[in-house]
Amino acid sequence: MISPSLDLPAGGSAVPDVLSVTATLLQSPWGSALRVAEFNETFAALISPSGAQHLIFNGELWPHPLEETLTRAAETVGQRGGTLIVLGGSSQRTASLQGALPLRTPAALRFLHLTSAGNYSSFPERRRLRDPLGRALRLALPLTNSQHNQALTLVQERLAGAQRDIEEQQVFQDAIAQRKPYATYGILTLIGIMFLLQSYVGTALAEKMGALTVASVKEGQWWRLVSVGFLHGGFVHAAMNSFVLYILGAQVERVLGTRRFLILYLVSLVGGSLASLSQLGEGTSVGASGAIWGILATQACFAFGKPAILPQALAQRMRAVAVQNLAINIFISFQANIDWAAHLGGGLAGAALLLSGILSPGLLSPTQALTDPSSEKSRDTSSPPWLNGAAILSVLIMVSCVLFAQFSGKSWKLAGPAILINVPLPELGLTIALPQGVKHSTKRDPETGWYVVEYGTPGRDLAFGTIQFSKGPGPSTREGQVKTLKELLSRRRPPEGTTVIVSPHLGSLLGAPASREKYRYANDVELDVLILPLPQVLLRSDLLCVQPGHAQCPTQEQILKPLL
């Protein structure tokens, strides 16, 4: 389990000390990013931007039982990754030190031992050749007096720099804590109100409450570009978006300030909606993901210093987090039923707004605002004169678009029973009943000669379906009608991908003989199939209901009542 010992380069007759190894690592190609958190002759702690810790122990001078120390250190270092380095001791002790590590050593944990005889051992062995830290360690040599002073100066400078970073980050955190994310809380409140309204009337009616569709925007319903961000497809969807907004939105707002955050949120939301239209087709889109992606992109811009508003050490640590967040959300974006275009459009819009510098004038680091009160007072004079107006306008646009969508769709009436109106079918000389506002069309199948009435729009209406009418009259007697139904039932098969709720059977509809069957699809859409032989016509009615039992879903009896 321990790699074969490797001799140090020529001239390394004695083991390097903690100072020598620390200085060598700091001067390595990747050492400029390391932060010296602690240093003395027996111990040094180096921390990388990702949070990984590299702990260096002088095994001969360490005042505590080294095995116990390694056991505790391995638990901490293994969480974020890093290396445990022990200097001194014999090769026989290597096995004892390795035995102090957890039986299931985390993959991100590395153990290195440089013995007093100058032998180098590593664990796990498979990472020995590709580990840059191990290669740097083998280059460490005992120091001459002049080298000792230079190395000590380097380490002390980096240690002092680390202390300054810690102090700056503490001041930054104190400044952040004094800023309240009022915009984030307000947006979350509006999302919560709209979700309660959706729960009352039914989430399947989102299109009538302001969801995004290509057809509606083409008709001039531009408010949907904004109202879509306050509607969701269910509890899980709303809860996930709200949680991310609560965490990331609050962080970004505290850095940007409430006014700039409001502008960013609206621009990202509209950018996501416009991108969504390019690939939405006949579908429907809901959710705040476009705006949230704008916030994610802003977090990434902060982490990479565009603009340079965060403490440098904090920005470096945030880079890995920002990249990880983006990677996770890119993976999620290309899952089924996810509007990836809205995600991409919102992220690009948010990043473009921030990188353009439009929001930069007067933007102060929270640290500067806290430590220099005069700069906070002068921020209003250096901010763009349009900033207040643009922030107020953003609030008015978001609120008015949500309200306009509700008044347009009369969402408060959607929880009540559907209002049915009689719809004449001139081609057939018949009349059926359909919910008010539901579109329908009648056409004749050139192959069968049957007339087909299609009504409702999937994604927009709770109920939609077809009614097929035969080209000639049906059986004139009740006995003939029952015989026809039995013949049809003998040939019936469940539709593919459905579960049987009610098997095909003979029954009646408002006193007339009829066959009835019901099925459920995997997405919980319910299909009600009814075949009705009448003296003047033979018909088949297929009714699909997105939310069975909802008052806005008419029944077969209600739709066909005018025929009887």
Cβ proximity of 314 and 169 under 8 Å: yes
CA neighbor of 255 nearest in space, from 411, 359, 130: 359
Q: Is 289 a catalytic residue?
A: yes
The gap from C-alpha 182 to its chain's centroid, in whole angstroms, comes to 22
Mention every residue, 6+ apart, whose C-beta is less than 8 A from residue 403.
none
Q: What are the tokens at 483?
A: 């015989």
CA pair distance 31, 151, nearest whole angstrom = 14
Mention every residue, 6+ apart, whose C-beta is less than 8 A from residue 439.
455, 456, 457
For 137-166, b where at least 16 C-beta lie within 10 A, e where not — what string?
Answer: bbebbebeeeeeeebeebbeebbeebeebe
Of the candidates 54, 113, 232, 343, the residue annotated as catalytic is 343
Q: What are the tokens at 383?
A: 């901010």
CA pair distance 161, 156, nearest whole angstrom = 8
CA neighbor of 84 nearest in space, from 96, 72, 92: 72
Cβ proximity of 319 and 303 under 8 Å: yes
CA neighbor of 468 nearest in space, from 536, 534, 540, 529: 540
CA pair distance 107, 35, nearest whole angstrom = 23
Give CA angle at 512 (509, 515), nearest 5°: 60
CB hemisphere CA count around 541 (13 angstroms): 26
User: CA Rg, the chain, in Å?
Assistant: 35
Helices (H) and strands (E) in the chain, counts: 20, 16
Report the DSSP beta bridge partners of residue 423: 432
CA pair distance 365, 371, nearest whole angstrom = 10
Peptide linkage before 426 cis (omega within 30 of 0): no
Burial of 452 per CB tally in 10 Å (0-12, 13-18, 19+): middle
Cβ proximity of 24 and 140 under 8 Å: yes
In order of 72, 129, 240, the CA distances from 80 in angstroms are 14, 22, 26
CA pair distance 360, 383, nearest whole angstrom = 8
Of the candidates 227, 268, 285, 289, the residue annotated as catalytic is 289
Q: Is 343 a catalytic residue?
A: yes
Cβ proximity of 65 and 83 under 8 Å: no
CA pair distance 389, 474, nearest whole angstrom = 69
Give the DSSP letter of residue 165.
Answer: H
Cβ proximity of 481 and 474 under 8 Å: yes
Q: What is the set of active-site residues?
A: 289, 343
